[in-house]
């Protein structure tokens, strides 16, 4: 079944170009030109992926992305006219899965979309050898449902935060380098910066640790990377 994609872009020439290439590649495509319309359509359509412009009138792409991720949400490819690393890291930290800087080639857009959808299929189901329920002290990870509870209270994670937590928690005590986490969680074809791993680790600690500055669940291994201690 063809994936459903919602394109959120207020510049008509870019919108038309993106839609034409996505449809030509067999995707089911819907469009929105502002944040409110995008959120309403996303709730109704439940798209597999949203191609989202960062700079929109009214609500900007960062806020839209943040709201989309509240309920697990679709995967997001963000479009931006900026190329600064800090903007990329901020965008990825609120749930975007990849970034594409304008001007971009339509072929590159299609390649990024397909890469994200491949990663989703890989990460959205538990590995057959793993338990469907991981429990560590007051933390419970329901792999099949992609839900997390701490002390019986649901913890809202973005899709990427869940994937990162599951990767670490599936093998407690194992040390992962940033490069290994990028490859396992974001995919080997992710053209991103390794700082995004640090950003997501920080976000997880804020949601899971009593004191994020003194973490006990996800620990830093100086000069190497991170490990889950449970």
* pLDDT tens, position by position, 1-20: 789 999 999 999 999 999 99
- The answer to whether residue 212 scores a pLDDT higher than 70 is yes
pLDDT band at 125 (very low <50, low <70, confident <90, very high): very low
pLDDT band at 191 (very low <50, low <70, confident <90, very high): low
Q: Which residues contact 50 (CB under 8 A, 6 or more apart)?
A: 5, 6, 7, 8, 38, 42, 68, 74, 75, 76, 77
- The answer to whether residue 126 scores a pLDDT higher than 70 is no
pLDDT band at 204 (very low <50, low <70, confident <90, very high): very high
For the record, the structure tokens of 172 come out as: 């407690």
Which residue would you say has higher pLDDT here, 98 or 33? 33
Residues 40-50 have a mean pLDDT of 93
Question: Rounded distance, CA 204 to CA 214, Å?
Answer: 13
């Amino acid at each position: 079944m063809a994936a459903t994609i919602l394109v959120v872009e207020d510049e008509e020439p870019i919108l038309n170009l993106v839609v034409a290439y996505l449809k030509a590649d067999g995707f089911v495509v819907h469009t929105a030109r502002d944040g409110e319309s995008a959120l309403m359509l996303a709730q109704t359509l439940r798209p597999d992926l949203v191609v989202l412009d960062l700079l929109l009138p009214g609500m900007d792409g960062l806020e839209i992305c943040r709201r989309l991720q509240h309920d697990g949400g679709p995967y997001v490819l963000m479009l931006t006219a900026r190329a600064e690393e800090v903007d990329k890291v901020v965008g990825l930290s609120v749930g975007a899965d990849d970034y594409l800087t304008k001007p971009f080639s339509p072929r590159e857009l299609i390649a990024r979309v397909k890469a994200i959808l491949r990663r989703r299929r890989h990460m959205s189901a538990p590995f057959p050898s793993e338990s469907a329920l991981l429990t560590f002290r007051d933390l419970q990870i329901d792999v099949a449902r992609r839900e997390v509870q701490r002390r019986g209270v649901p913890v809202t994670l973005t899709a990427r935060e869940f994937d990162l937590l599951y990767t670490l928690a599936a093998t407690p005590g194992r040390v992962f380098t940033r490069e290994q986490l990028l490859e396992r969680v974001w995919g080997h074809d992710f053209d991103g910066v390794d700082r995004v791993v640090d950003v997501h680790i920080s976000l997880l600690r804020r949601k899971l640790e009593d004191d994020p500055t003194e973490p006990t669940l996800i620990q830093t291994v100086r000069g190497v990377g991170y490990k889950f201690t449970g």
